[in-house]
Amino acid sequence: MLETSKLNEGKIKRYLSEGRRFDGRDLNEFREIKIETGVSKHAEGSVRVKLGKTEVLVGVKMDVATPFPDTPNQGNLMTNAELTPLSSADFESGPPKTPAIELGRIIDRGIRESKFIDFEKLCIKEGEKVWSVFIDIYSINDDGNLLDAAGIAALIALKNTMVPKYDEEKEKAIYGEHDRKLPLAENMIPISLTVHKIGDNLLIDPLKEEEDVSEMRLTTSGFKDTIFAMQKGESGTIESERMPELLELAEKAREKVILRIKEYL
Amino acid sequence: MSERKLVIPGEIIVSEKEFLPGEWTEKRNDEIVAVRFGVAEEQDRLVRVIPISGTYQPRKGNVVIGQAVNILSSGWFIDIDTPENAFLPVSEFPRYINRGEFADVLDIGEMVVAKIINIDKRGIDLTIRAHGLGKVEDGLIIKINSNKVPRIIGKEGSMINLIKEETGCNITVGQNGVIWISGKDTEAELFAKKAIMYITENFFMEGLTEEMKRWFEEEKGK
């Protein structure tokens, strides 16, 4: 109900062109990130991430499954996002709609394409049994930028995930007993970061009202100067001359985010 | 029971016999129980709950702020945060408007301050033929829970006048929880917004107007 009105839209744009935002941040400044790990007793890895008033919960669950025929010696990855009705007036219960599917896929692609998880080490018996990794994302409160909050949360949850022991006889997982951490790539942190375009301004970490008037967004998942995956959203466009500026903004923001979440990685 | 307290549905407010159940409470055995989430208070042995959550219940005579969502041949559909849209007929406009000029007068997405003149089975009818009503021209729109509107206005408007005085903004509060702030610049408007948000977070506090005076002094000292 009551979308951000034209009045506020004009106001946000005018304010942004002066280089200022409603909550006093700079255009390239992230909100405060608060992290709490181990929030779920039954998940193999879990985390709650707060980005200002935006809040997401991510749990990683592992199970034994058969591999896909084209990757017989690799584990599986499934990412699922649920935008709960309580977290925003825009979300309703029922089958997932486009925003939830898109959110899940952006996070999935970022992690998959960066080769962050070493899937070959998740093979139990080639062609028959592998570990399946399920990443479940739940929105608790949406005050803008769920995308980046979910990306950060998924990353930290994976870092905290323990692989359950494997029961050779029953060919099942023994939950509650762990012997190793999830095999992850060393020295690499694929952060997905979204840059929004409002008017002629590029900014990161939008508030809900800024997100409502965003004309274009581009999510890039990357580390240092490498980009693993991209997703463009909204109907607006960006000039090709401005792409370097956008990518530089994303890269610098990624570095800052990594510094702030370092102790949880 | 002497002071206000926050209650949830099913919570026992008082268990002494001499009290009477008021609005949003019910008597179970000898206990008075809350049926809505809100603030419980007692006056002359009558216990009642002032709800602080839930949707806006439209009432005849309420001044509300809504957003034009559709233009028909006879007027506008206005979203005032109720289950059904409200209708603003073109005949309720203070001046004559040519057919085809509706969008120039009030376009989709624009906001309007209106008064509810009628509610029936067909829906809600609005008017803007009175002083202070009409299109929202410039300023900032914010949305709060409609149940907190009485606290924003305060006793005989004491709270809203305090905010107006301290921020120098013009503030129109719709009973549906939509607030229009218009000041000399965006900073002033954002300051008023901050004040209103502080009230909505501390709505249960007693002597809130005094607290707000203190808050303004503190904020201005910064």
Residue ranges of domains in chain B: 5-51, 63-135, 140-221
- Closest CA relative to residue A203, chosen from A31, A50, A26: A26
- What are phi and psi for residue A208, nearest 5 degrees? -55, -45
Smallest Cβ distance to B67: which of A5, A11, A22?
A: A5
Domains and CATH numbers, chain A: 18-264 (3.30.230.70)
pLDDT reported for residue A98: 93
ipTM: 0.73
Closest Cα partner for A52 from A72, A73, A29, A70?
A29
How far does chain B reach from its first CA to its final CA, in angstroms? 39
**Tokens encoding B13:** 């407010």
| A259 touching B (Cβ < 8 Å) | no
Task: Output the CA–CA distances (angstroms, integers) from residue A199 to A17, A23, A146, A152, A236, in the order listed.
Answer: 8, 18, 21, 27, 10
Six token digits for residue A225: 């100067």
Neighbours of B185 (CB within 10 A): 10
Q: Tell me the shortest Cα–Cα distance from A219 to chain B, in angstroms.
A: 28
Q: Which of A4, A7, A90, A143 to mutate to test the interface with B (most CBs of B within 10 A)?
A: A7
Collapsing DSSP states into helix, strand and coil, what is residue A80?
Answer: strand
Rounded to whole angstroms, what are the CA distances from B145 to A68, A103, A211, B49? 50, 29, 21, 16
Please list every residue in chain B whose beta carbon sits closer than 8 Å to the beta carbon of residue A14: 186
- How many other CB atoms sit within 10 Å of the CB of residue A148? 27
* Predicted local confidence at residue B220, as pLDDT: 83
A1 and chain B in contact, CB less than 8 A: yes
Q: CA of B188, closest CA in chain A: separation in Å?
A: 11
- Chain centre to alpha carbon of residue A36: 16
Q: What's the alpha-carbon Rg for chain A, to the nearest Å? A: 19
Residue A237 has pLDDT above 90, yes or no: yes
Cα gap A224→A257, rounded to integer Å:
12
What is the CA A223 to chain-centroid distance, rounded?
14
Task: Calculate how close chain A gets to B207, using CA atoms only, in Å.
Answer: 27
Name A206's Cβ contacts closer than 8 Å, sequence gap at least 6. Answer: A144, A145, A196, A198, A214
Of all residues in chain A, what percent carry a pLDDT higher than 70? 98
CA distances from A250 to A128, A156, A189, A202 (A): 41, 19, 14, 10
Residue of B nearest to A14 (CA): B186
Residues of A in contact with B109 (CB under 8 A): 3, 5-6
Is the pLDDT at A133 greater than 90, yes or no?
yes
A38 CA: distance to closest CA in chain B (Å): 29
User: Percentages helix, strand, coil for chain A, rounded to the nearest 5?
Assistant: 30, 35, 35
Average pLDDT, integer, range A235-251: 93
CA distance B137 to chain A (A): 8
B144 phi, psi to nearest 5 deg = -125, 175
Residue of A3, A4, A6 to mutate when probing chain B, most B C-beta within 10 A? A6
Instruction: Quote the crossing angle between the two packed helices A146-159 and A98-113, to the nearest 10°.
Output: 40
Distance of alpha carbon B25 from alpha carbon B10, whole angstroms:
9
> Fold identical between B5-51 and B140-221?
no
Count CB-CB contacts under 10 A for residue A26: 11
| Tokens of residue A130, six digits | 């592998």
pLDDT digits (tens, 9 = 90+) for A142-184: 999 999 999 999 999 999 999 999 988 888 889 888 888 999 9
Q: Which of B141, B179, B181, B196 to mutate to test the interface with A (most CBs of A within 10 A)?
A: B141
- The Cα diameter of chain B in Å comes to 66
Q: Give me the CATH code for the B5-51 domain, please.
A: 2.40.50.100
B17 with B45: CB under 8 angstroms? Answer: no
A11 neighbourhood in chain B, CB within 8 Å:
140, 186
Residues of chain B contacting A1 with CB distance shorter than 8 Å? 79, 81
Higher pLDDT, A6 or B211: B211
Inter-chain touch B178–A2, beta carbons under 8 Å: yes
| Per-residue pLDDT at A135 exceeds 90 | yes
Per-block mean pLDDT, blocks of 10 residues, chain B (222 long): 81 88 89 90 87 87 93 92 88 84 88 93 90 88 90 89 92 94 90 92 84 89 76
Residue contact B178–A8, C-beta within 8 A: no
Residue A4 pLDDT exceeds 80: no
Interatomic CA distance for residues A87 and B152, integer angstroms? 24
CATH number attached to the domain at B63-135 = 2.40.50.140
Q: What is the pLDDT of residue B85?
A: 82
Q: Which positions ≥6 away from A182 have C-beta within 8 Å? A: A44, A45, A60, A62, A117, A133, A158, A159, A161, A162, A163
Task: List, in sequence order, every residue forming a beta bridge with A21; answer none if it has no partner.
Answer: none
Please say whether the beta carbons of B215 and B165 come within 8 A: no
Q: What is the CATH number of domain B140-221?
A: 3.30.1370.10
Q: Which H helix or E strand runs over B5?
A: strand B5-7
Q: Cβ–Cβ of B109/A8 closer than 8 Å? A: no
